[in-house]
Chain A
């Protein structure tokens, strides 16, 4: 809207002086509020506006690129002597010192300093100012801090082409970590992929302490628990190699190709023996081989994992994990690709008796297998999307299991200090800590360690440090909070009670199953003629399959007939509708 003021003057009056006069205010324009415009606005009542009479600041966070640093020391040489005195010359230095001692100020200052010093020394001797007065009372107050874990260090694969960390092994004293690097995906390894595996010092993540150079990438690697200088590793091509860290990067000995495994060696464990040089290894070619590291030219013993106990290699199950407990030296467990855990006895008299029994529970390969260090009768297996705890006595199913997770579990291990805590790693890069005394449905602590899949996991013997290895070659070292890594008072007894309870439950279920089966069998024997259509007691797998097939066909037939009937009905309806239409449109045209 324009406000215009018009001012007119006669031509003849131009140039005449202005005579100003006052006049009252005149309302020129009045613009009333237009309520229609209010609809474009929303009233905000009350309004919160913060004001501050200070400078505007902004916060930025910056993460620098990895800085490679190297520590080195400087040796301090004696200095400060005046130019004319050579510090190496005893006479000159003595003469200088004597001169200083004769100085007035020296004597005076030293007397004052001496008295001050004496006062403090006497103080020290009188009272211990750092004495702990209430030491014993610390045990009583245990504020339950939420469990947490902190990443301490990440050790990255220094090569260009990143390989998966397929196995980790701690040095028996705990200061070093050996990591085996290999590419486990079939035919994905490129030509310029490095074959090396490394030993890292946990204080120095910049550079590995020692490089191990095998002939083929290592899939598993283990420190000798008795001799911390020796390691044994299983390679991708099936060979076993033995290193001594004092002798350098090349293996001291490698097994011959003809006598080794035909597939990658997935697990290798040191055995308890008098000589301390026995190892045994497992691979997906279906064999478990025992070796003496002093003579790697051929294995000392061989076992084929054929469940029919015939030693038939074609029907053998491929082994992916192995478990050996030094308290039970003749028994060991093998986890297979088919999801079956086989329990074997090494000291059996005939090869057929070597395989004692099998536990069938997983749908996929059993990637990890470990006995509980406090309760050796119970062991943990990980495969498909669950982790299961088994009791040796119950063959049919696990006594406890986790629910199906969203991604595949790759590795698991028990905590060496707390009997109820175990750790698992998954393919989405998450490390889960489970405490079955605290919560059984979900992990107690779930941490996203990295974005790529985690393939391996190992706990140090003190129970506080965990190392996990990822697909891109990064080994992450984490520290667990003390709540999860210190033994609580009732842990063992509570866990023993829990395992007992679960085992009993399974036993009861098993007994009930057997009862039902027996009943059915006896019933079917009695009344076989009377009911032809009854499901019989022949629970042989073939009959079951045939019956399942029949049921399936019957159901599909019924479904098809029903659908046909519906279709016909629809078709009839359509026809009717069309007739109506045509009849309808006909006359209207």
Chain B
């Protein structure tokens, strides 16, 4: 429990990190540092994206699996680390 907190705090303290969301497989945000409205939006939309990305990778090669997903946009970068039951979403503004 404490290690989880510590990990999250470490991530939050990195340069340019704007927010962290932890979502479970059903799309429910477990922990978040953003406001409720944005969290719900991110959780819903990104959940669908990760499912699609994962199924794409596995369709091409069934032995393969998605390990990380980065969505780079004009304003920031959304990084998603998927797992069997949860995913960790971090929104970062690349400073350089």
B85: A residues at CB distance < 8 A: 105-106, 109
User: In the bound complex, how far is the Cα of B58 from the Cα of A94, in angstroms?
Assistant: 35
Whether the pair A110, B96 counts as a contact (CB closer than 8 A) is no
What are 6 A-B pairs with beta-carbon distances under 8 A? A113-B81, A114-B88, A121-B16, A121-B90, A124-B77, A125-B15
- The answer to whether B1 and A102 touch across the interface, beta carbons within 8 angstroms, is yes
Find out whether the CB atom of B92 lies under 8 angstroms from the CB atom of A121.
yes
Interface set, chain B 51-96, CB cutoff 8 A to A: 67-68, 70, 72, 77, 79, 81, 83-88, 90, 92, 94-96
CB distance from A83 to the nearest CB of B (A): 12
User: A80-B26, A101-B4, A111-B4 given as contacts; is B83 within 8 A of A124 (CB)?
Assistant: no
Is A118 on the interface with B (CB-CB < 8 A)?
Answer: yes
B86–A106 CB distance below 8 A: yes
Residue contact A114 to B31, C-beta cutoff 8 Å: no
One of B14, B30, B40, B68 near A100 (C-beta < 8 A)? B30
Binding site for A on B (CB under 8 A): 1, 3-4, 7-8, 10-11, 14-17, 22, 24, 26-28, 30-31, 40-41, 44-45, 67-68, 70, 72, 77, 79, 81, 83-88, 90, 92, 94-96
The 8 Å CB contact of A81, one of B7, B11, B28, is B28
A122: Cβ under 8 A from any B Cβ? yes
Q: How many residues of A contact B (CB 8 A)?
A: 33
- Residues in B whose Cβ lies below 8 Å from that of A81: 26, 28
Choose one: B10, B70, B77, B87; the contact of A118 (CB below 8 Å): B10
B94 touches A107 (CB 8 A): no
Residue contact B40 to A125, C-beta cutoff 8 Å: no
User: B84 contacts A109, CB within 8 Å?
Assistant: yes
A100 touching B79, Cβ below 8 Å: no
Question: Is there a chain B Cβ closer than 8 Å to A76's Cβ?
Answer: yes
A80 to B83, CA, bound (A): 18
Query: Contact between A117 and B79 (Cβ–Cβ < 8 Å)?
Result: yes
With A and B bound together, what is the CA distance between A51 and B5 in angstroms?
A: 70
In the bound complex, CA of A38 to CA of B15 (Å)? 90
A97 touches B70 (CB 8 A): no
Whether B44 pairs with A113 at a CB distance below 8 angstroms is no
CB distance from A374 to the nearest CB of B (A): 34
Across-interface contacts of A110 in B (CB, < 8 A): 4, 7, 22, 86, 88
Contact A113 B87 (CB under 8 A): yes
Q: Which residues of B contact A82 (CB under 8 A)?
A: 26
CB distance from A538 to the nearest CB of B (A): 77
Closest residue of B by beta carbon distance from A87: B28
The answer for the CA separation of A80 and B4 in the assembled complex, in Å, is: 24
Q: Are A125 and B14 in contact (CB under 8 A)?
A: yes
B95 near A125 with CB under 8 A, answer yes
- CB-CB < 8 A to B15: which residues of A? 125
Q: How many angstroms between the C-alpha atoms of A273 and B9 in the bound complex?
A: 62
**Cβ-defined contact, B27 with A128, below 8 A:** no
**A7 within 8 Å of B by Cβ?**
no
Rounded to whole angstroms, the CA-CA distance of A131 and B83 in the bound complex is: 31
Complex partner residue of B40 from A78, A107, A113, CB under 8 angstroms: A78
Kindly list chain B residues whose C-beta atoms are within 8 Å of the C-beta of A102.
Answer: 1
Q: Chain A: which residue is nearest B6 at the CB level?
A: A114
Interchain CB contact under 8 A, B14 and A116 = no
A76 touches B7 (CB 8 A): no
A79 interfacial contact with B, CB 8 Å: yes
Is A112 located at the chain interface by the 8 A CB criterion?
yes
**Cβ contacts under 8 Å, A115 to chain B:** 7
Instruction: Tell which of A97, A109, A114, A117 has the most Cβ of chain B within 10 Å.
Output: A117
User: Once bound together, how far apart are the Cα atoms of A89 and B81, in whole Å?
Assistant: 29
Give the complex CA separation of A109 and B44 in angstroms: 21
User: What is the CA–CA distance of A127 and B15 in the complex, to the nearest angstrom?
Assistant: 13
A76-B40, A78-B40 given as contacts; is B11 within 8 A of A121 (CB)? yes
CA distance A125 to B30 in the complex (A): 27
Most buried by A among B8, B15, B22, B72: B22
Q: Is the CB of A79 within 8 A of B4?
A: no
Look across to chain B and name the residue whose beta carbon is closest to the beta carbon of A93.
Answer: B28
**Cα distance A131–B72 in the bound complex, in angstroms:** 13
In the complex, which residues of chain A have a beta carbon less than 8 angstroms from the beta carbon of B92?
Answer: 121, 124
Question: CB-CB < 8 A to B44: which residues of A?
Answer: 76, 78-79
Which of B1, B14, B81, B95 has the most C-beta atoms of chain A within 10 angstroms of its own C-beta? Answer: B81
Docked pose: A114 CA to B68 CA in angstroms: 12
Is A552 located at the chain interface by the 8 A CB criterion? Answer: no
C-alpha gap A81/B24 in the complex (Å): 10
CB neighbours of A122 from chain B (8 A): 14
CB pair B3–A113 under 8 Å, yes or no, is no
Does A121 lie within 8 Å of B14, measured CB to CB?
yes
The 10 closest A-B pairs by CB, nearest first: A114-B7, A80-B26, A80-B27, A113-B88, A113-B81, A109-B83, A128-B96, A80-B28, A76-B44, A124-B94
CB pair B72 A130 closer than 8 Å? yes
**Contact A101–B81 (Cβ < 8 Å):** no
Does A120 count as interface, using CB distance less than 8 angstroms? yes
CA separation between A122 and B94, bound complex, in Å? 10
- A124 / chain B contacts, CB cutoff of 8 Å: 16, 77, 92, 94
- Are B68 and A120 interface neighbours, CB within 8 A? yes
A121 touches B24 (CB 8 A): no
Contacts of B68 in A (CB 8 A): 116, 120
- Complex Cα spacing A252 to B26, Å: 55
Min CB–CB distance A519 → chain B (angstroms): 74
Of A97, A100, A118, which contacts B11 at CB under 8 A?
Answer: A118
* Whole-angstrom CA separation of A128 from B30 in the bound complex: 31
Find chain A residues with CB under 8 A from B96 CB: 125, 127-128, 131
- Whether the pair A100, B16 counts as a contact (CB closer than 8 A) is no
Tell me whether A79 and B27 are in contact in the complex, defined as CB-CB below 8 angstroms, given that A110-B7, A113-B81, A114-B88 are known contacts.
yes
Instruction: State the CA gap A110–B2 with chains docked (Å).
Output: 12
Measured CA separation A76–B86 after assembly (Å) = 21
Q: How far is the CB of A205 from chain B (nearest CB, A)?
A: 27
Q: CA–CA, A241 to B72, complex, Å? A: 50
Q: How far is the CA of A106 from the CA of B88 in the complex (A)?
A: 11
A110's nearest neighbour on chain B, judged by CB, is B4
